[in-house]
Structure 1
């Protein structure tokens, strides 16, 4: 990812972002999905980068790349103000799920299984693992971001100025996005904040199915497979207290709460 300043002959300049996909095996799929998502979002009220150009065949760039506008704002990962950001995140996600493209993106893919969960020493996740061994619940599909979480949302002052990284867009249950953001909030800010996000989503007008628990438990278990990958950027951004052990303990507490809370997200 590179930020570019493009100068014009009249002395004006434009801030752009060049995103290159270096994983050759996945590059074509990711690039085309992000490019199509940005085209779709340009016709909506969702704040996302504007697509400028696509080099799918790496004819001008070293790798398949797309050029897009640079959005103002920054990601916010610290704890201060999380209670005010969660309603904004929820409202933004409801708006994303309301997008209805002329052509549906491909269906979601969930690679994690009951067998791939990485259970911490001393933790008892048997009930959670048994839950996702059950048949996948039926669902009403919607437009998904697939990696909606604080690291992909830009804030400018007290508002969301944009959502980035649309390479994973898919069609599937809203619970996939809501649970993914909830898991990230639980690890980043504490389990209680992950649990609050589902309620905030419903308060913002989003709809979660009675089978929500399955999807939330599934996403939390999937996070166990990549805790280091998830938490390392947070530490690099200044959250040095979020060691692998701390994040692992938060995930254990969060999963225990999910298993014990079938009414997740509903007001009590």
Structure 2
């Protein structure tokens, strides 16, 4: 087996486990490290068949991650659910959520064509596609619902960026001190953002971009759709500017998505997600720089986060109320 760099090397027990999942006559020919993730090691494996053909699989490995078993179990369940639904996702090959056979908890899945697109060019065409894809995900009704949403972010854990609008941040923190709005539950990806969506972007011409896959289903949950909308909005704000975070919520509604009926209910989820990013700006910005967005330094992203929080708090809202329906 060949490897392109040291990070691509598959550990011996894991390699043996992968080999047991292959078809007769197949073997692993090579591995390539995939960059861009925060918590997992990702490798693309080239699989050779006896007749000379090849195919590709993707290996996800969690090393020293506390909730690895839960995350991989959620992803395995989600990939099984998504088969045949029309939502483009990898196919599940095998999973070892507890690391019983591999050195560390691992999941093996099919490889999808396409790539994440994080640049500003063509964003206006991609945002409606992202919104329509998220609406399709939220329309799924699994026989067995995934666990509910949890958060570790509190009013006391927020890290206010240096030079931020103190008034806007104080008001935003006050928003999450109150109880969460009660809303109808939906099947959520829970980490839906441009880095987890694969696109086929053709050369300039009449054919526009299309989504070829949605990846990283380790945080699937059952809670209000606003959680996913808010998370993608924050990512778009930090990648491209606050106006795009605000625009995504509109695009989701235009695509048929249902959010909290009360504007202040929607504000709660947007603010909660944005404030959660304050604790890990350096973690989320590093993969973006590695992907070619060198200008997205930690400081630059902090300034965009401040601008987004300020924009959210400047938007008109009504007294906080309940969504239509109930949380399930």
TM superposition score category, shorter chain reference: over 0.9
> Which residue is 2:294 aligned to?
240
1:122 Cα deviation (Å)?
A: 3.2
1:219 aligns with 2:260: no
Q: In the superposition, relative to structure 1, how do residues 134 and 24 fare at CA in structure 2: closer, same or farther (>3 Å)? A: closer
Using the alignment, how far apart are the partners of 2:101 and 2:235 within structure 1?
A: 36
Secondary structure in 2 aligned to 1:140?
coil
> Which residue is 1:197 aligned to?
248
**In the TM superposition, what whole-angstrom CA distance separates every residue of 1:136-194 from its partner, at most 9, and x where no partner exists?**
11011000111101110000121000000000111101111100000000000011111
> Which residue is 1:87 aligned to?
128
Structure 1 unaligned residues grouped into runs of 5+: none
**Structure 1 counterpart of 2:196, from 149, 152, 158:** 152
Which structure's CA Rg is the greater one? Answer: 2
1:120 Cα deviation (Å)?
A: 1.7
Preserved CA contact (<8 Å) 1:213 1:262: no
> Which residue is 2:284 aligned to?
230
Using the alignment, how far apart are the partners of 1:259 and 1:231 within structure 2?
A: 24
CA RMSD of superposed structures (Å): 1.3
**In the TM superposition, what whole-angstrom CA distance separates every residue of 1:186-218 from its partner, at most 9, and x where no partner exists?**
000011111100000000110111210000011
1:64 Cα deviation (Å)?
A: 1.6
> Which residue is 1:104 aligned to?
145
1:255 aligns with 2:309: yes
Q: What TM-score do you get using the length of structure 2 for normalisation?
A: 0.78
Q: How does 1:104-143 map to 2 (within 5 A)?
A: 104-123=145-164, 124=166, 125-143=169-187
**Matched residue count:** 264
Using the alignment, how far apart are the partners of 1:163 and 1:224 within structure 2?
A: 25
Q: What TM-score do you get using the length of structure 1 for normalisation?
A: 0.95
Using the alignment, how far apart are the partners of 1:208 and 1:96 within structure 2?
A: 14
Structure 2 unaligned residues grouped into runs of 5+: 1-41, 202-208, 319-328
